[in-house]
């Protein structure tokens, strides 16, 4: 099902909340927000990462992975989200926790592989287990965000910005989105604790 803004009023609210992250929540858990009951499944996808390599949802099956949404010319929240994801990557490695990171660009027309690689390098991303994905149309990321994460992706031209979620999402080996975390909060311990508990 294609994700659409239901009413002009809701669209106006989203524009006012540019970059602030508006999405479905289904009950709080001690570590993040539990989304199991929402039964959100990752849509099938075949996208291109920062090295021009194809990455599909099937490539990620059988493991826990974390996803978020960013874009390289983001004037606001991505300047916090991406450093926090980089911090999480470092802590996951230090703790010996195996998890892949995936950042979907919400600005695919501009964010080609070269842009995504440069962006990742600027935050010292370890590309061995962090994919910055693009290579799709704007409508595709809108549908993926809506269907899989219950999150909007909408342009806010007045602010030269794009509305997108500020959460990190944890996906299980079966492709179900099971938790969300505040990506603007650099408390990575709760994410690591969750993954460790699930992998044990």
Token code pair at residue 192: 């690591």
Residues found in the chain: 200
Terminal C-alpha separation, the chain: 35
Residue 78 annotated as binding site: yes
**Residue whose pair of structure tokens reads 């602010």 in the numeric block:** 159
89, 172 Cβ separation under 8 angstroms: no
Token code pair at residue 87: 């911090």
Q: At a CB cut-off of 8 Å and minimum separation 6, what does 151 contact?
A: 21, 22, 23, 24, 69, 145, 164, 165, 167
- Residue 148 φ then ψ, to 5°: -90, -30
Residue 29 and residue 193: Cα distance in Å, rounded?
13
Residue 131 annotated as binding site: no
Question: Which residues sit in the known binding site for Cu cation?
Answer: 74, 78, 164
Question: Which residues sit in the known binding site?
Answer: 74, 78, 164
């Amino acid at each position: 099902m294609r994700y659409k803004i239901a009413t002009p009023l809701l669209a106006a609210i989203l524009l006012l909340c540019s970059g602030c992250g508006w999405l479905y929540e289904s009950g709080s858990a001690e570590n993040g927000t539990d989304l199991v009951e929402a039964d959100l499944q990752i849509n099938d996808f075949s996208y291109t990462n920062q090295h021009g390599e194809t990455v599909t949802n099937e490539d990620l099956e059988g493991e826990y992975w974390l996803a978020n949404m960013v874009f390289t010319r983001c004037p606001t929240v991505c300047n916090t989200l991406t450093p926090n994801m980089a911090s999480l990557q470092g802590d996951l490695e230090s703790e010996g926790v195996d998890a892949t990171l995936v950042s979907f660009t919400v600005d695919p027309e501009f964010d080609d592989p070269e842009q995504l690689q440069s962006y990742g390098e600027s935050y010292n991303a370890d590309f061995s287990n962090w994919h910055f994905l693009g290579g799709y149309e704007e409508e595709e990321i809108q549908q993926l965000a809506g269907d899989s994460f219950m999150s909007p992706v909408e342009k806010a031209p007045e602010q030269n910005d794009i509305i997108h979620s500020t959460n990190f999402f944890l996906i299980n080996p079966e492709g179900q989105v099971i938790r969300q975390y505040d990506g603007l909060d650099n408390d990575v311990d709760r994410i690591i604790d969750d993954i460790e508990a699930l992998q044990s």
